Chains A and B, each alone.
Chain A
């Protein structure tokens, strides 16, 4: 049985940030993820906003980790080469909304976050397409956007390069305490460790229960989104929120770090981590967007999706169990969880550092080796790459201009992409306007070839999602 210092349960952004932070400080780490890849839960389906932190209730962990996470984020994304843009954000208020903005400004001051209330005229300089009804805005210059799944994947990759092991399709089914150590059972075998960090997101309550740690109730709220074609990217300059309500930050209009635009999220109570998009939720977005944004372009939609926030009480939970020594619970990481992730990891390093020596390794990988993309290369670089490896000249995804070489590299990356969706999250093949209609069969062929499996074994994502389900001629005619 493999034994390590720490096991992190859950390959979302918090789990991957924690595994990364621990591995860079010399801990031996295994990350167990029940899905087929990291970033397959809330970390792949959210707004991708790096929040400034003005709206968190002062004094909460949310306020603290949001502000610290924002400070850490901009260096982190450069180290990891994750698409990002510090584009600021606006809260767009209609006439009569000034009081709401003042309350936010007050919170911003208490949270130590830069923000100011600006006139419509000034706001139009920042976002020219504000709706006519918008009369003033709260401007937060330190907000921005990041590719949330890319951030998660790159954190996992850096953890692996620093010695951590990421095990996917390893759902923790039982947790036993043996001689002061934990033994975690999964379908990939048993794993032993001194310290467990439960970052299981929507599944965190179940993990705590399995470990005999504190139990808690999780509330789930689904957020639905529209994704628009990159041709709309030029029409949205910044993140535009409406005034927040009790239900959350509201339906925003935002550019994405990869050049698309998103409209959403809704906030719909659901029973569990059910990410099925609801058509009435889409209608709600259709009604909400024109209130803040003057150029809704629903006809440029290329995809709808939904993610689920796991909410536990009013604040984040990041603490050691009082019932189970060396067992840490990280739960209720809803918004601004993406922004907060590096700060949560840093805080956990402090807590775990009381259990074992943790010190920044001098030999740790900090800056990830650059994974080149065709669209970022100069002409001379392209020709040099093609001369060395013809696969750089073979475009597989024509919408996003992704070459065979990039896909092959993703299949053999530190956290290997062995499903069509995993490839898509890493290199954007299938992320464009044809949504893989053209490239998916070719991506499948590459995965099959590179991993030595038949085409029929290649999956879209999780177990049971094979695409080529029957070989021609082998169907049962009766």
Chain B
């Protein structure tokens, strides 16, 4: 697998391979780069930030309370689209616990201003 290390502006192009049960990282110039490579290879995770529709049709911004597996992002996004939050929802409220069993809650991060 090839990727770019995001730990610093250097942006080392790194390559991760596995042979004989051992994970090999090449191209990194520091320890953090090595660890990044291993994580990205074994279990890349991302915090998802997106929108949920409120009862009145407005959108409310949400995030996952913890990073979720990268390959589950679209499945999660499709699921979040089916959710509806009440008018009274506010920042910090949990919309759903342990969404899709991925181990992260869907949490409200911002609500739009009340329509004039």
Contact = CB atoms under 8 A, between A and B. Distances in A.
B51 A473 contact: yes
10 contacts: A472-B51, A472-B53, A472-B59, A473-B51, A473-B53, A473-B59, A473-B81, A477-B74, A477-B77, A477-B78
Contacts of A472: 51, 53, 59
Contacts of B51: 472-473
Given A472-B53, A472-B59, 8 more contacts: A472-B51, A473-B51, A473-B53, A473-B59, A473-B81, A477-B74, A477-B77, A477-B78
Interface in B55-107: 59, 74, 77-78, 81
B66 to A, nearest CB: 23
Interface residues of B, number: 7
A239 to B, nearest CB: 45
A283 B67 CA distance: 50
A473 B77 CA distance: 9
Interface in B38-54: 51, 53
A455 to B, nearest CB: 10
B110 to A, nearest CB: 14
A477 B74 CA distance: 9
Those 6 A-B pairs whose CB atoms lie nearest each other, nearest first: A473-B81, A472-B51, A473-B53, A472-B59, A477-B78, A477-B74
B6 to A, nearest CB: 27
Dominant SS among interface residues on chain B: helix
Contacts, number: 10
Contacts of A477: 74, 77-78
Nearest to B51: A472
A88 B51 CA distance: 57
B71 to A, nearest CB: 15
B38 to A, nearest CB: 32
A473 B62 CA distance: 14
Contacts of B59: 472-473
Contacts of B77: 477
A451 B77 CA distance: 34
A458 to B, nearest CB: 16
A472 B52 CA distance: 9
A472 B77 CA distance: 11
Contacts of B53: 472-473
Contacts of B81: 473
A172 B90 CA distance: 54
Interface string A107-146: 0000000000000000000000000000000000000000
A391 B81 CA distance: 36
A477 B79 CA distance: 12
B8 to A, nearest CB: 32
Interface in A420-476: 472-473
A473 B53 CA distance: 8
A477 B76 CA distance: 12
Nearest to B81: A473
A444 to B, nearest CB: 14
Interface string B27-46: 00000000000000000000
Contacts of A473: 51, 53, 59, 81
A472 B81 CA distance: 9
A442 to B, nearest CB: 12
Contacts of B78: 477
B90 to A, nearest CB: 20
A473 B74 CA distance: 13
A303 to B, nearest CB: 31
A352 to B, nearest CB: 50
A438 B52 CA distance: 24
A473 B51 CA distance: 8
B41 to A, nearest CB: 27
Contacts of B74: 477
Nearest to B50: A472
A389 to B, nearest CB: 14
A77 B78 CA distance: 57
A364 B102 CA distance: 73
B30 to A, nearest CB: 39
A477 B50 CA distance: 15
A468 to B, nearest CB: 12
Interface in A181-213: none
A256 to B, nearest CB: 35
Interface string A334-354: 000000000000000000000
A91 B77 CA distance: 63
A473 B79 CA distance: 10
A188 to B, nearest CB: 32
A472 B57 CA distance: 10
A299 to B, nearest CB: 29
A437 to B, nearest CB: 20
A471 to B, nearest CB: 8
